[in-house]
Structure 1
Amino acid sequence: MQHTIVMTGASRGIGRIAAERILRQSPDVHLLVVARGSSGAPLAAELREGGHAVSHVEADLGSLESVRSAATEIRDRLERGDLPPLRGFVGDAGMQYTNALTEGPDGLESTFTVNVLANHVFVRLLEDRFVSPARIVITVSDTHFGDFRHNLGMVPGPAWRSPDALARTGAFPKPDTATGGRTAYSTSKLAAVYLVHEYARHLPAGIDAVAYNPGFVPGTDLARNAGPVSRFAMRRILPAMTLTPFATTRSAAGGYLADLVLGTPQAQTGSYVDRGRVALSSEESYDPQRERELWDADERFTAAHGA
């Protein structure tokens, strides 16, 4: 039976690889890609080659109003029957800035907006449109562990504060530096794990939410806002690490993501999937009080945008 999967982050990196693999492996999927500006139409056309069912909706994930508009359009298309039943959402898009001072149009810090709040708007506005069995997959990062084993000293560990502070610029020491931006990134990924735990509690039975960790994947455009030296290292030098156990190739990471979206491996709602296996996330990531506080704050932040 044909069904819809909504996906952010399909335009590049592991998301693009995952999108192509989902379409190859599951001919019943109608993939609806969320893309910024005019990039959506050519992306959908490229993915549609070979006879696949692909459409797009425009959204700037750094603007909650834009995300709300996109989610509302998807709801309307589902209700009109223009799309087959919704059985998946993939929040793969992510952003890392060179500082912790970048503010979006909502007055909120942009890392937190893109990596946490945008997914929350989509999930909350679409949750009553899902048809069981459905799976929500949110891409996280092992930088949330904060230790050398998981980030090789390249990204500072998370520095948790109240969600009201995290959603504003300047939440971390040296906010005008790359260190501040990377701390915002790892902290946002810890927040995403917390939200997956909350989705497992709040969503109806049959709608599962899982966190996906691709590992360190050099060669993607995640660091596209970094300086020229960092960009060169990520694209030309660090990919050699995929020959070691410390990094994952884009192809492998995209394949793991596609498999997870399509139901392999089996993972209970609330699970953390490290590449192709269910695993434990960091000890810090299991904190019901923080999870509740984040849920309540996200509900407030997104309330003005219909979520």
Structure 2
Amino acid sequence: MGTTLMTGGTRGLGRHAAAHLLRTRPDDHLVLLVRGDGDIARQLTRETGNPNVTTVRCDLASLADIRRAAAEVRERLATRPPLTGFLANAGLQMTSTEATTADGFELTFGVNVLANHLLLNLLLDLFANPARIIVVGSGVHFGDGKNGLGVVPPPRWDGVTALAAPRPGGVRAGREAYATSKLGVVYLVHALKRRLPAGIDVYSYAPGFVPGTGLIRDAGVLSRAAVATVGQLLRATPIGAGPAKAGRTLARTLTGPRPGDSGEYVDRGVAMRSSEESYDRAREEELWAVADELCGLAATRRTA
């Protein structure tokens, strides 16, 4: 028996992944970090027949709330099975680069990268061995037309401090920030892999093109309608999938056979090489060090 901690489990492919985990791992416990209170745990119990699901309120756009939620998770795990899985599915894409987190960071980078860095580091000592960590990224980090569908620009890595700062920019800048944050996810996973003991594996994961997830809910009505139309067409192609299928594949990657060596990039359950740009140890270590400073972890490490 074990406990899986999950973000982004209330809608879209994440909701389907959570349901699949509950159906296929009836003796495990699932803890969902959710932004609001809601009744997602009761809904999932009714849907799957498995009562082993609880929620912890957490706003991933607030470092203080992440710390509070991590402390609550730590308290709960004192009386529950050990932490054996972590599924970081939450993410967002904004229509600008001007929105900020509660701490003043550019919102996309703050939630997609810094929140995962802080949450994982606050909980690392709780993981059992073996354990598996998956951080959801995206194929858009390749910066090509195939993965970006001609809509998402290539990532632009300007350094962590610059990327974490809000700046003027409209829809294109927001999409570029999203692609860049997903490149940051790969860097984060590579850096974390070097710091984990053997037996605790970490992967970046690309779910493919999955319409109906709510990812672009910040976009305008026309943009959402266009993506929905294209998405329905792409679901029947190799690059697309519906939320239910994508969620099952994501859940199986967490609980099934080891998909590859720790640190690898997994595309819809299959380990493969990520973009050439994603193999940059200097950037990976810069991200780790600057994220430590921005998240308030550096002082703790110096005194540990």
Q: Describe the superposition over 1:49-92 as per-residue Cα deviations: whole angstroms up to 9, x where unpaired.
A: 2133001100111111111110111012223x2x2111011100
CA contact (8 A) 2:7 2:34 kept: yes
How far apart, CA to CA, are the structure 2 residues paired with 1:51 and 1:249?
Answer: 24
The structural deviation recorded for 1:224 is: 0.2
Out of 210, 221, 233, the position equivalent to 2:226 is 233
Out of 137, 141, 145, the position equivalent to 1:148 is 145
How far apart, CA to CA, are the structure 2 residues paired with 1:28 and 1:190?
Answer: 35
Q: Which amino acid aligns with 1:165?
A: A
CA contact (8 A) 1:271 1:278 kept: yes
2:18 equivalent to 1:19: yes
The structural deviation recorded for 1:151 is: 1.3
The structural deviation recorded for 1:304 is: 6.0
User: Normalised by the size of structure 1, how large is the TM-score?
Assistant: 0.93
2:62 equivalent to 1:69: no
How far apart, CA to CA, are the structure 2 residues paired with 1:184 and 1:300?
Answer: 21
1:108–1:6 CA distance, 2 compared to 1 (3 A): same
Equivalent residue number for residue 180 of structure 1: 173
Equivalent residue number for residue 199 of structure 2: 206
2:43 equivalent to 1:46: yes
The structural deviation recorded for 1:234 is: 2.5
Out of 136, 139, 146, the position equivalent to 2:136 is 139
Identity of aligned residues (%): 46
Equivalent residue number for residue 57 of structure 1: 56
How far apart, CA to CA, are the structure 2 residues paired with 1:133 and 1:288?
Answer: 26
Name structure 2 gaps, 5 residues minimum. Answer: none
The structural deviation recorded for 1:249 is: 2.1
Equivalent residue number for residue 224 of structure 1: 217
How far apart, CA to CA, are the structure 1 residues paired with 2:270 and 2:101?
Answer: 35
Name structure 1 gaps, 5 residues minimum. Answer: none
Equivalent residue number for residue 287 of structure 2: 294
Out of 93, 111, 114, the position equivalent to 1:117 is 114
How far apart, CA to CA, are the structure 2 residues paired with 1:215 and 1:116?
Answer: 19
How far apart, CA to CA, are the structure 1 residues paired with 2:45 and 2:24?
Answer: 14
How far apart, CA to CA, are the structure 2 residues paired with 1:28 and 1:184?
Answer: 40
Equivalent residue number for residue 163 of structure 1: 160
Q: Root-mean-square deviation (CA), in Å?
A: 1.5
User: Normalised by the size of structure 2, how large is the TM-score?
Assistant: 0.94
How far apart, CA to CA, are the structure 1 residues paired with 2:242 and 2:233?
Answer: 10
CA contact (8 A) 2:259 2:266 kept: no
Q: Describe the superposition over 1:228-269 as per-residue Cα deviations: whole angstroms up to 9, x where unpaired.
A: 101112234422211122322222211110001103353221
How far apart, CA to CA, are the structure 2 residues paired with 1:72 and 1:110?
Answer: 23
Out of 88, 91, 101, the position equivalent to 2:88 is 91
How far apart, CA to CA, are the structure 2 residues paired with 1:195 and 1:44?
Answer: 30
The structural deviation recorded for 1:105 is: 1.2
Equivalent pairs counted in the alignment come to: 298
